[in-house]
Amino acid sequence: MATFKNIFNPRAPKDGGFFLAIKELLGFNPKDIGIYQEAFTHRSTNTTSTQGHAQNYERMEFLGDAMLSAIIAAHLYNKVPGGDEGYLTKMRSKVVSREHLNELGRDLELTKHVKTTVPIGQFGVNIHGNVFEALVGAIYLDRGYKYCEKFINKRVIEPYVDIEKLEGKVISYKSLFIEWCQKNKHQFKFSVYEDTGNDTLKHFGVKLTLDSKLVGKARATSKKKAEEQAAKRAYYKLQEAIDGFSKKS
């Protein structure tokens, strides 16, 4: 196993390519570049510390998730003084949704800095959001809360957090559809049907019925994705009724 003692040196020259890339990404100087190197290291490298602890972005991802959630919560609390707990929770969920975090990671092209023994193309889409969270965690460890807040304001809040747009943003069409059905006493069912496609990668076909009537049908590489897509198509068929419910809830 590789160790940080050999490959991650906080005292590395400040004109190194990685240091300059991180500095540009952050908008300020990192103090300990080794922290950021860990934040961009995938577990496939089997990198360990001199104490034998695994060193990759997963622990920082946990920390970054907490910091991001806290800073976004504070922003919404101050920005929307009339928002109750349920409203603020829903709005925060829209900002820190996995889909949105993946979008942030892609926009910042974070995966091009990841150290891994596995081709990036073989990872799922969530690697973008995972590395973004790890970066937030690294900033907190390196420079503290204020710099973490500064980065999130610049990279998340200013370009992406528009209260009016967020209010109309749907996180999960499946969750919205199910909630609408339950509140209005409709019967619904997601059912897998035989997929006869010729794709090399296995696909799942899903039909969605509402009160025994077909309202959505989709196929995707997982049952979960197919259900979400079917629910999205059902949503657009029933948009007026569901939107009316969503605005009231």
Q: Which of 38, 61, 65, 227 is catalytic?
A: 65
Question: Any catalytic annotation for residue 133?
Answer: yes
Q: CA 154 to CA 158: how far, in whole Å?
A: 6
Distances (CA, A) of 180 to 44, 228, 236, 244: 43, 15, 14, 10
Question: Any catalytic annotation for residue 24?
Answer: no
Q: Which of 85, 99, 109, 133 is catalytic?
A: 133
- Which residues have a Cβ under 8 Å from the Cβ of 163 and sit 6 or more positions away? 79, 80, 91
CA-based torsion, 223, 224, 225, 231: positive or negative: positive
- Which residues have a Cβ under 8 Å from the Cβ of 200 and sit 6 or more positions away? none
CB atoms near residue 65 (< 10 Å): 19
Any idea which residues carry the catalytic annotation? 65, 133
